């Protein structure tokens, strides 16, 4: 079966409270996808956003982002008053994370103050999720108590998780711990309802799992043996990044701690199995970000200011993949195999059986190999107009060299009256890829103002784009449905 879908994160949904949420607007978007004959809704990671407001820098791989909790749902429960859920931000097509950090948290604290912790569903949730929930909630309570300091700057007794110290802070921070339990309960309750609604309407959700977790996370604090840390200081020995290339002479220094793959292999990759089991509860399909890191990864000495001095190290390869497939035989994956792809990486993708990714924007870029042109695709692949890290198609066309743009128009058979977005989408729909995903920005033919992320940059312009309510229209749904039907996708 040939499928298609739309990529738009929940935060980009329209709505009155400064950021998209899991409430009515999310259900309306599911209705839109259904009327547009789409099968997939692809989103970004749903964890609490951390450094740079990035969903790829989360304080916990299991936790949900409390900004996505719908305030109308809390009002319906009697936990929040309308005046306490005042609109946040003045620009309807941009998320203001600074305002959310103060105003949204304040509103959620008021809701928690009215919540009954003896509620049966809450008690059951806390009991069933305790394996990760207790470490995460204590971690967040400690961060609040220490003014947001990363855990490596906490007192030694807490950094090394000495039992007496942990117990003492569990008692003294009980209220703050309870608040974070409440946030996770509300998130998972709303998410479960949204996913059920999507499933009932024939929509499957593709979710992202970043290959790495941040150093300042409950994952690393609670599981130091899973990472390459100095046992005396708990600082990383080496950190993640990518080597210098045509685009960046210094490479990219991500700074995430690297996995201790030998230790993970010794216990059957239990940490990864738990993580992906949790992802299976959230998503129908999991896209593994930076899949090539399982074949080999770029390791940079901790403390270096660029990625230049890194080196390649072998990853777990098929040993991990085979273990995951045996433990989770029904979970479907997409391998994000973009970037520096070697024959070994291509072989790992092939051996895994996971579909890889094809990005149409790369097909006509003279700096990239032309195996992204649609005539080179295989069926077991997922074609994208672009991802959250790429320019929108309009932005790409405006920045492309004249030679690249002419090549694209000639290859696509673009007429004078046709937009580059329409021509690219037509090519992706017609490709043999089993799945074709279009960024919502490309269906809307938006430019640079709607780009979701500029990799390697900070400064407040990333992860902010929101779709205007009037853009999600019945006319657009009809146009998408007609194109989808023409190319026999569902």
Angle of helix 24-35 relative to helix 174-200, nearest 10 degrees?
Answer: 20
Helix (H, G, I), strand (E, B) or coil at 363: helix
**Number of CB atoms found within 10 A of residue 420's CB:** 20
Residues 43, 206 contacting (CB under 8 angstroms): yes
The rounded distance, in Å, linking the Cα atoms of 224 and 236 is 10
The rounded distance, in Å, linking the Cα atoms of 253 and 456 is 9
Specify the DSSP element, H or E, that contains 5. Answer: strand 3-7
**Number of CB atoms found within 10 A of residue 238's CB:** 20
Residues 290, 337 contacting (CB under 8 angstroms): no
Strands across the sheet with 238-242, in order?
A: 252-257, 238-242, 296-301, 311-314
Question: What does each C-alpha distance from 91 to 88, 395, 397, 459, 467 come to in angstroms?
Answer: 9, 21, 27, 18, 11
Specify the DSSP element, H or E, that contains 436. Answer: strand 435-439
- CB-based burial, 205-235: b 16+ in 10 Å, e otherwise: bbbbbbbbbbbbbbbbbbbbebbbbeeeebe
Catalytic positions:
289, 336, 389
Q: Compute the C-alpha angle 412/289/258, nearest 5°.
A: 145
The rounded distance, in Å, linking the Cα atoms of 42 and 228 is 32
Q: Tally the C-alpha atoms within 13 A of residue 268's C-alpha that lie toward its C-beta.
A: 8
Question: What does each C-alpha distance from 235 to 17, 151, 238 come to in angstroms?
Answer: 39, 11, 9
Here the tokens at position 104 are: 């949204």
Residues 209, 274 contacting (CB under 8 angstroms): no
Burial of 469 (0-12, 13-18, 19+ CB in 10 A): middle
Strands across the sheet with 3-7, in order?
A: 332-335, 285-288, 204-209, 40-42, 3-7, 435-439, 381-384, 356-359
The rounded distance, in Å, linking the Cα atoms of 143 and 151 is 7
Residues 490, 40 contacting (CB under 8 angstroms): no
Burial of 488 (0-12, 13-18, 19+ CB in 10 A): exposed
């Amino acid at each position: 079966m040939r499928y298609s879908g739309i990529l738009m994160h929940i935060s980009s949904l329209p709505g009155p409270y400064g950021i998209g949420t899991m409430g009515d607007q999310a259900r309306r978007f599911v209705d839109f996808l259904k009327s547009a004959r789409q099968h997939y809704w692809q989103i970004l990671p749903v964890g609490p956003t951390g450094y740079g407001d990035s969903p790829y820098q989360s304080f916990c791989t299991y936790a949900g982002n409390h900004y996505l909790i719908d305030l109308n749902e809390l009002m319906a429960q009697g936990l929040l008053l309308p005046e306490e859920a005042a609109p946040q931000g003045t620009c309807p097509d941009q998320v203001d994370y600074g305002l959310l950090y103060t105003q949204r948290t304040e509103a959620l604290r008021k809701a928690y103050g009215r919540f009954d912790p003896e509620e049966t569903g809450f008690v059951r949730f806390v009991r069933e999720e305790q394996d990760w929930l207790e470490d995460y909630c204590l971690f967040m309570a400690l961060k609040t108590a220490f003014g947001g300091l990363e855990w490596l700057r906490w007192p030694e007794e807490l950094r090394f998780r000495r039992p007496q110290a942990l117990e003492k802070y569990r008692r003294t921070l009980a209220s703050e711990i309870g608040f974070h339990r409440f946030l996770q309960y509300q998130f998972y309750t709303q998410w479960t309802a949204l996913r059920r609604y999507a499933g009932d309407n024939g929509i499957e959700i593709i979710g992202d799992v970043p290959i790495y977790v941040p150093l300042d996370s409950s994952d690393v604090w609670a599981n130091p043996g899973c990472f390459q840390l100095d046992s005396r200081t708990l600082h990383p020995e080496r950190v993640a990044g990518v080597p210098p290339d045509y685009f960046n002479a210094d490479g990219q220094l991500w700074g995430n701690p690297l996995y201790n793959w030998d230790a993970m292999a010794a216990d059957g990759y239990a940490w990864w199995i738990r993580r992906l089991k949790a992802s299976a509860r959230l998503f129908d399909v999991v896209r593994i970000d930076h899949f090539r890191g399982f074949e080999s990864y770029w390791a940079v000495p901790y403390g270096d200011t660029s990625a230049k001095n890194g080196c390649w190290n072998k990853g777990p390869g098929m040993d991990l993949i085979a273990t995951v497939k045996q433990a989770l035989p029904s979970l479907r994956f997409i391998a994000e195999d973009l970037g520096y792809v070697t024959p070994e990486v291509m072989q790992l993708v092939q051996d895994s059986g996971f579909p890889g990714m094809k990005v149409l924007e790369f097909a006509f870029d003279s700096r990239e190999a032309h195996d992204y042109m649609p005539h080179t695709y295989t069926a077991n692949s997922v074609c994208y107009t672009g991802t959250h890290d790429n320019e929108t198609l309009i932005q790409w066309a405006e920045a492309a060299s004249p030679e690249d743009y002419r090549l694209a128009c000639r290859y696509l058979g673009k007429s004078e009256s046709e937009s580059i977005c329409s021509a690219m989408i037509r090519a992706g729909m017609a490709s043999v890829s089993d799945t074709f995903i279009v960024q919502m920005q490309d269906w809307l033919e938006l430019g640079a103002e709607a780009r979701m992320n500029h990799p390697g940059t900070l400064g407040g312009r990333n992860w902010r784009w929101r779709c205007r309510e009037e853009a999600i229209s019945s006319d657009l749904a009809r146009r998408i449905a007609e194109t989808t039907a023409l190319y026999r996708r569902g």
